[in-house]
Amino acid sequence: MTQSQEQNSKQTPVRIWNIPVRLFHWTLVACFITAWLTRDNRYLDIHVFAGYLMTGLILFRLLWGFIGGPYACFHDFSFDWHEVLDYIKGVLNKKPPRFLGHNPAGSWAIYLLLTLGVLIVITGLLGLGGEERQGPLAGLLNYPQGKRLQDLHELLAWLMLCVVGTHLIGVLVESLLHKENLVRAMLTGYKPAKADTIAAASQWKTATVMVIMIIAGGVVWFQGYLTATPEQPYQPFVGPDLPDHDLWREECGACHLAFHPSLLPARSWKTMMAEQDTHFAEDLFLEPDTVAEIEAFLVENSAEQGLTEAAWKINQSIPKDQTLLRITEAPYWLKKHQEISDATWQDPKVNGKVNCAACHLDAAKGTFEDAAMHLPN
């Protein structure tokens, strides 16, 4: 029997990772993957739920780092940079010391991932509030500020992905060098150790509370999908209440959807009202007082005011020297609809590009939330 075999024969499985730590680890993995796959705003409700769940998990882990017991507390894997360098040298020499808990390099990866997680959550909430006008920080920032925070949010997510990749490589290397399956250890909680090694308590009661809270949060968040009907479809996010006007809605809505003034710049509405006698080859026969009243409402709430995300992006996309009279000619509109097939436009349920309500549940309100968009079956 070799020395290594003799040493292993004297060891027994010992619980190193308690259940809350393992539950945190794998649920956080699931959250990150889910959030990454739902970056498209069409799935914003799933993305945001993953973000909220990640927030709760990180807050729990920060607390558990002080009261979580052996191997889970921060003081059990607190290493300075000298110890990290020594450990990396040991890895390069293929003789790194074995740690039952987090090794020095792994501990720094954990701290970095937690830090990035906090920053991702903060920028995500700020971006959601500024760019989407949703969440607990809705309206705290304007759209340009929200867009910058959203860009930073995505950059941090890419950085976290790189750190995760490095972490996985480290897990693989350590597993090979120490001839033990670290992934299995994080699943079962057990690692081989001497019989007199301090074991972590299972902490199953805390883990049970965590599971109940996660399930309850999911049910509350997604219950709208369970109660939705064709007559009352579910809208994950409800946009802000936009300014309305009875005369505008009566006159403009008599022939087509009353397109909210936030969907075109003021110059477009002024030109349109000045040419109301040749409105797309038709005479609207509006009295001068009616024209003036409707035009005032249109100009006051035009795209320049940035009342919604769609309004801000439409206004940003139209060159200042152009006066478009059709929303469907705006560069942002064209970009958002470029992947829609001709068959969809010709579908009787859609019947053309001006029937916004066929796909946008909030078209009448004028908010055009991404998550409220559903293509007809």
Q: pLDDT (tens digit, 9 = 90+) per residue, 233-245?
A: 888 888 889 999 9
Domains in the chain: ranges and CATH: 10-227 (1.20.950.20), 246-372 (no CATH)
Interatomic CA distance for residues 300 and 262, integer angstroms: 9
The region of weakest confidence among 32-36, 218-222, 338-342 is 338-342
* pTM of this structure: 0.87
Interatomic CA distance for residues 234 and 223, integer angstroms: 9
DSSP state of 288: H
Q: How far is CA 217 from the centre of its chain?
A: 16
Interatomic CA distance for residues 286 and 338, integer angstroms: 36
Q: How far is CA 253 from the centre of its chain?
A: 35
> What is the mean pLDDT of the segment spanning 180-185?
95
Interatomic CA distance for residues 29 and 31, integer angstroms: 5
| Phi, psi values for residue 53, rounded to 5° | -65, -40
80-123 tens-digit pLDDT: 999 999 999 999 999 999 999 999 999 999 999 999 999 999 99
290-311 tens-digit pLDDT: 999 999 999 999 999 999 999 9
23-31 long-range contacts (CB < 8 A, ≥24 apart) are 23/207, 23/210, 23/211, 24/57, 24/60, 24/61, 24/64, 24/210, 25/186, 26/186, 26/187, 27/53, 27/57, 27/214, 28/54, 28/57, 28/58, 28/117, 31/57
224-233 long-range contacts (CB < 8 A, ≥24 apart) are 233/361, 233/374
For residue 172, give both structure tokens: 């693989």
The region of weakest confidence among 102-111, 149-158, 181-190, 227-236 is 227-236
For residue 249, give both structure tokens: 């809605």
pLDDT reading at 129 higher than 70: yes
Task: Give the per-residue pLDDT at 6.
Answer: 41
